[in-house]
A = this chain, B = another copy of it.
Amino acid sequence: MTSSNGGLPLLTPMSEVAGRLAPQVGAHALEKAAGGRGVLLGGVPGAPAADVVIIGGGVSGANAATVALGMGAQVTILDRSLDVLRRLDVQFEGRVRTIFSTRAAITDLIRKADLVIGAVLVPGAAAPKLITRDMLRTMKQGSVIVDIAIDQGGCTETSKPTTHSHPTYVVDGVVHYCVANMPGAVARTSTFALNNATLPFTLALANKGWRKALSEDVHLRAGLNVCEGKLTCEPVAIAHGLPFVPAEKLLAS
């Protein structure tokens, strides 16, 4: 499993939470009362398990696969990196299908899927629209899409942000779960997870004082936007036509 999340390590725990939550909310959305096709992820002996397709094998996707497999589903992961697929093949001991991601492969797989989990996160960029409206129409009635990438625009043409109180809506018979802040559903777990990631930085600030802590740690320093009345965040300075001073220079003075 990739342990970091592009260049945003503090967000890795949130990707883990969202990934593990995705099959759970997807399974719920597949229940009849939630508008789904009434399919149990794991089936029972003699009756088939659900077909879960996960697009993207990064932190979220790998965690989603772990839970979907654990609930008994037939799981397929698509990714454009063979090295990622190899790592997942070893991690899951061959129990997930790993498929090289192409438009043709996605088109083919979502048609038979009961649950599609969109886990394509491109750090700092809008998620690519991998499922178009036309492709959506080929999906089974009552199937479900969980779009983890919704915070970055979603990876489905028909995705739009929803809330924990009204988490789903239906387009062309397909239930969409697009809650923008998924980890909020399990706030207690998310809080502990986030604290674990941020604690070393908090301790550094508390023990060394902010100036020393920022001087010694490039990651903390990169988070400094305004200091002693001066802008230390270059993009903001440029955007507003204001003067910019590098954090290093201010801290050294």
Contact = CB atoms under 8 A, between A and B. Distances in A.
Chain A binding surface SS class: helix
A161 B21 CA distance: 28
Interface string A78-109: 00101101111111001101111010000000
A86 to B, nearest CB: 4
Contacts of A173: none
A197 interface: yes
Contacts of A167: 33
Contact of A185 (B31, B86, B164): B31
Interface string A35-56: 0011111111111110000000
A158 interface: no
B48 A97 contact: yes
A55 to B, nearest CB: 14
Nearest to A194: B47
B187 A3 contact: no
Which of A13, A33, A190 is most buried by chain B, counting CB atoms within 10 A of its CB?
A: A33
Given A71-B67, A82-B13, A95-B95, A21 B40 contact: yes
A47 B86 contact: no
A44 B67 CA distance: 11
A94 B82 contact: no
B38 A185 contact: yes
Contact of A196 (B46, B87, B91): B46
Contacts of A87: 1, 3
B189 A83 contact: no
Contact of A72 (B46, B66, B85, B90): B66
A20 interface: yes
A14 B174 CA distance: 27
A46 B185 contact: no
Contact of A13 (B4, B20, B44, B99): B44
A104 to B, nearest CB: 11
A41 B70 CA distance: 12
Nearest to A82: B46
Contacts of A41: 24
5 contacts: A40-B189, A42-B70, A46-B85, A66-B72, A82-B196
Given A47-B192, A67-B71, A67-B72, 8 more contacts: A17-B40, A24-B41, A28-B28, A33-B185, A42-B66, A66-B72, A66-B94, A70-B72
